[in-house]
Amino acid sequence: MVTVRRGRRLRVSSEPGMWFTGDGELLGKGPAEVRVVPGALRVRVGLRGDRAFRE
């Protein structure tokens, strides 16, 4: 299940032993806390097959 939330800080918890990823990379086992640094992440969005991506 995926849940979308907005915020500056996120705490991730899971069943014992469950791995979590960030940007497709294995980061470790939960629990974890993630903080957003303004301007530190660039995100590209667009529809699948759409050549006009927006940043």
Q: Rounded to an integer, what is the distance from CA 29 to the centroid of its chain?
A: 15
**Per-residue pLDDT tens over the stretch 1-55:** 667 777 888 787 878 888 888 778 888 887 888 888 887 766 665 656 555 545 4
**Cβ atoms < 10 Å from Cβ of 34:** 13
Domain count, the chain: 1
Grouping H, G, I as helix, E, B as strand and the rest as coil, residue 8 is: coil
C-alpha 15/C-alpha 53 separation (Å) is: 36
Report d(CA 47, CA 51) in Å as an integer.
Answer: 8
The domain of 46 spans: 1-55
Q: What is the pTM of this model?
A: 0.40
pLDDT score at 48: 60
